[in-house]
Amino acid sequence: MEQEERRQEFSEIVDCFFKRNNLSPSLDEHYLRHFRRKFGRFLSQIPEGTDVRVKNMILMCIRNDYIYYSRQKIVEIFRAFHRKLMDNGVDIDSCLFASVLNKQTHKHNSSIALSALYLEANELDNRLSIYFNSIIDIEMSYRNHLNGKEGFEHYNQNIFEKESHKERSRCTKLLRGKKYLLLLDDYTGTGGTIRDFLQIIHSYLPEGIFVIVFCIHATEDAKIILENTLRELNITGQFIKYESSTKYFRDNPELERIITEFESTVVHNREDNYTLGYNKTESVVTTYRNTPNNTLSLFWRENLNEPVWYPIFPRSGKSVSRTNSRWVACSNQVRWFLSTRGIVGEEQDKLLLLMYLRDNSRISVALKEIELDKILCYNPGIIQECQTMSLVTDNLELTPQGLQFLSGKHLDSINLTEIEREYEVKALKQDLSIKIDF
């Protein structure tokens, strides 16, 4: 009876998370696929002996507080904001829209995708965009030169003045006749990225431009910093946010201490600048594209050392980056190998699972689950079926029946190196020509 009550409580918490964030259970976004199963696994990895308040905090946070912005929600926010602009008499032809860039413009930046989504959501022409990449690169190259950074010895004052003059002329031309510059971003935690961006571009902006910085979510600290930045730089403008938040543990220092200890020992193996989120911001926010590193790190940061910790909202491009295996990288080659022997579909998935478990018997259950998510393309049904057939134990170990199943397909002794060699010899040298008949 107690187990049934816990199951019902768990289901209620997940339902509250979806309902509170206006999410359909069928919404196909990568963070939400198989969410119940992933959340259950997320909770189950909390080490034995951990203060029960850690698990209780996670449960209550997901139920009552954690904010998830779906793509549809962001589109609705952008449309509502755009209507308010129009209602305030803003002529769209007097506007240009821009992304907020990092100092290293080659790095992934969610603001770029957000700006494109804003134009798409409001059916605006791409010609209403302006880009500041070149300005950032010019200014940072000269700073690096002044700081004596290797590789920037050539970027002297003469080159800087020539290139910056060219960019000032370009900005003046593009902004001629415009009244508003709108800078769009999804989240700001410390305000640092937007502040740095404004400090770099403000001298390139012609007089009379009204700068609107619009963020979907901002902390109260970031809001204060950015409003002060606009004043300090003498930029005529306004900071606007859809939603704001304060530090999650602002009224509970004891729980803050407990989570700090948990993140320092389990999630990070040490306390660093990402404990409680970057710069201890203590946010609990994820968008459909990514999780800000200002969010409590237990929700987004992975640790593949013992004890293993795998997050429920991993940051894009960061998860499963150091997994054990060639197996994750080579799983498509194994699929090719099996298909050449007439093994396809569900049977292929079963054999892929069994071969993986045979070769990875010594790693932890948590790490097996992480890798199998990738190898089986997030298909938990295969594992469950193999467990029902007594081929795999509940702890993801290969049973004697499982080994016998492999033997029946002559796969009990084949190893990954042999598969890779066969793939290199045969698959990579196949005829790639095509014939098209009309």
Number of independent structural domains in the chain:
3
Banded pLDDT at 321 (limits 50, 70, 90): very low
Q: Are residues 203 and 64 in the same domain?
A: no
Banded pLDDT at 393 (limits 50, 70, 90): confident
Please give the pLDDT value at position 435. 45
Q: Are residues 238 and 295 in the same domain?
A: no
Residue 386 lies in a domain: yes
Domain finish residue from 203, 228, 244: 244
In the numeric block, the tokens 């900071």 are attached to: 239
Does residue 237 have a pLDDT over 90? yes
Backbone angles phi, psi at 91, to 5 degrees: -80, 120
Per-position DSSP letters for 369-391, written without gaps between them: HHHHHHHTTS-HHHHHHHHHTTS
Residue 79 lies in a domain: no
Please give the pLDDT value at position 434. 45
| 3-class secondary-structure state, position 242 | strand
The answer to whether the beta carbons of residues 383 and 376 sit under 8 Å apart is yes
Q: Are residues 278 and 342 in the same domain?
A: no
Residue 165 lies in a domain: yes
What is the domain extent for residue 375?
Answer: 326-429
Beta bridge partners of 392: 398
Banded pLDDT at 270 (limits 50, 70, 90): low
DSSP symbol at 265: I
* pLDDT tens track for 106-121: 666 778 888 989 999 9
Q: Are residues 95 and 233 in the same domain?
A: yes
* pLDDT tens track for 38-65: 999 899 999 999 999 999 999 999 999 9
Residue 305 lies in a domain: no
Q: Are residues 146 and 261 in the same domain?
A: no
Q: Are residues 237 and 252 in the same domain?
A: no
CATH of the domain at 233: 3.40.50
Residue 309 lies in a domain: no
Does residue 178 have a pLDDT over 90? yes
Distances (CA, A) of 131 to 93, 136, 418: 17, 10, 50
Instruction: Please state the pTM of the whole predicted model.
Output: 0.76
Does residue 354 have a pLDDT over 60? yes
Query: Residue 282: which of 261, 297, 301 has the closest Cα?
Result: 297
Please give the pLDDT value at position 428. 55
